Amino acid sequence: MYAEAQASTSVDAPLTRDIPVPSRSLRLGLGVDDRIDSNVRTTEIPVADDDELPVTQSALVASRTETTSTGRHRLRPPSSALKARTALVAIAAGAGAVAIVGSGVDQGAPAATTPDPVEASPVLASSNADDLGPGVTDSESTTDLSTFADQLVQGSKLAAAKDAADAAARRPTVVSPVSLGVYKLTSAYAPRWGTFHGGLDFAAPLGTPIHAATDGVVLKSGPASGFGNWIQVKAADGTITVYGHMAASGLKVKVGDHVTAGDVIALVGSEGFSTGPHLHFEVWIPKGGSYVKIDPAPWLAKRGVILSALVG
């Protein structure tokens, strides 16, 4: 009865296979220890018709032991980060190898020929002779400087005109007809030898320069009775200054010339009624529609001209 019941049970019950679920240590490849049987859990899954014969628990344990007997000596699988670094290193190494191979020189190829040296031109040699410093090279300017040259000329003319105007402004408006220290004042504006002497006599060596006492225009330049030769200069205010006893060769201006105070207009002579080389100088001023002679000494002194003392 018991045997039949057992046979009936084995026939009527569905066939199942016990599949053990390995522990975490086994899944990580750490091998199997003696406690594996106690830590294995099983799940019942129906067996299909085409499945092979059931595997017993002891056969599964033996197979597992045989399979994992070498797992104790295996290394832990690398992490994903390590795998990524390994891949990058491999890619970089491959790129370096390609670069090295590409830059290699074919030993079998003929060597490049060196061009023959070119003889330096004289122009370059001369330009390199002047050392302008590191990084500085000489160059030829193509800028047209003619405009600046014209402006420079005009500027020079303007500067010269300004200098002349300044010099003229600083020049005195009235000067001594003969430079102080060169002459001796021998006769004054006064009666002399029974007549009236209407001027000043500046005794000086022949050829001594005679200067225009004022600015003005030359009215007379030539022969005159008693003077031998004379010069008359009319100033802007109508005053006329007279210079006499010069030789014809000593006249340095002509009628119509414009002179400035201090200009040399003649040289000392001894022509006409003269007792020796000297300049006879007179000052005429307009009065009542005509001209009258005045004493040159106070007229010169009033305008800042200093005369030497009267002698003789």
Q: Establish if 236 belongs to a structural domain.
A: yes
Looking up residue 235, the CATH number of its domain turns out to be: 2.70.70.10
**Structural domain of 47:** 2-71
Average pLDDT, the chain: 77
**Residues 129-155: pLDDT tens digits?**
566 667 676 666 667 777 788 888 889
Specify if 56 maps to a domain.
yes
Q: Is the pTM of this model over 0.85?
A: no
Query: Which pLDDT band, with edges at 50, 70 and 90, does 40 fall under?
Result: very low
Token pair recorded at residue 13: 């019950």
Render pLDDT for 162-194 as a digit per residue (tens, 0 to 9).
Answer: 998 888 788 889 999 999 999 999 999 999 988
Q: Which of 53, 71, 89 is where one domain is finished?
A: 71
DSSP 49: T
Supply the DSSP string of 124-137, one letter for each residue.
HHHHHHS---TT--
Q: Final residue of a domain: which of 13, 45, 71?
A: 71
Per residue in 86-131, pLDDT (tens digit) is 766 677 676 666 555 555 545 555 555 666 655 555 544 454 556 6
Strands (DSSP E) contained in 38-170 are 41-46
Residue 141 lies in a domain: no
**Predicted confidence (pLDDT) at residue 34 exceeds the cutoff of 60:** no
* Helix count and strand count (H, E) for the chain: 8, 14
Q: Which of 47, 71, 95 is the last residue of a domain?
A: 71
